[in-house]
Structure 1
Amino acid sequence: MTEARKTIRLYEALELRGEYDARIKTLRDCLPEARQNRNLFSHRDNDSSRRPAPGFSVSEARDQRRKLNAAIQRANFEHRVEHEGDDMSLTEALETRKALNDRLGELHTQVVDSAYERVLHKEERDIVEDNELPYDDCRTRLNEARVEFRQLNRQIRAASFEVEVEYADE
């Protein structure tokens, strides 16, 4: 009997990866070195008389997460989305979204900085320094970038419900 390939949706794989991260953290926190660091400033008993319980294996959880992460990366690389007329992999779309998010922060700062003119009070007159970037232009670019981010994010989210990842949750 041949073993059938099991697939899960990308959003399920992402949730599963988060679950495995939590499992690994729990197991890691059970390790003696983590316990020593955590108890460094407390007055608890010495843990030197403790040993791992049977069935305790952080390497298994790490292996499962590594396999799941590789499956997600394969799916991200293979699936294509269209953004502003360009056909790109989901991986590229995720990187583009990250860059767009950074750009939104920069544009936000430009809008805030350009919202007020600088006024220097000199003796009997005021000197007004014009902004390097006009407020209306900055605001327009920010709004356009927000729309672009929203559209790309919708495509990425839609893909997470369409794309199947070759991974069987054991």
Structure 2
Amino acid sequence: MKITATPKTMSEAEALRVARGGGNVFGKVMYGGKDITLKLLYLESREVILNLHYQPAPLMRWLGKDKTHGPTVQKIRMIVEGTRCTASYAEDPLKTCTVEVESENAVQKTEYADEKIFTAAKRPALRMIRRQIGKVAFAELDSMRSVYRPYYIAFFGEMKMGERVRYIPIAADGNQVSRVL
């Protein structure tokens, strides 16, 4: 099965070193000595590009700093995680490559509808633009594409049926995505 994914930049040794840290101090104390099993999964994310139609703030118009003299359109790129449907701002386009995946169990697709993903991307984009520019009239969808991100999932301890296992997802593509309030 071929998928479009971000390139993997982290090796298993680096992921194991991150997992040995335990995520935080309490995790390191409780699970630091247990066996760690690493599994590579590709989780679906959506790259959503929005067209935002807005007018500059009234104060900017009154002061004469509005160079456009009317409504303008701006494109903004948001990345929506497919597992939790949370959006974050992406300044640059994601670099992608085609990856051959041996089984469908290594790929986790999103269960959210396209409308919910669009709404999740639109809300923080409108809030961010409203804070910086002024009044936003509306947002419309320009394009949306699926991109799979590689994650190492570190499982701590033995995986037995009926027992809880602590796990930490570790992004293997090196993309740092910051959340928008």
User: Normalising by the residue count of structure 1, what TM-score does the alignment of the two structures yield?
Assistant: 0.21
Compute the TM-score of the two structures, normalised by the length of structure 2: 0.20
**Structure with the largest fraction of strand:** 2
Q: Which has the higher helix share?
A: 1
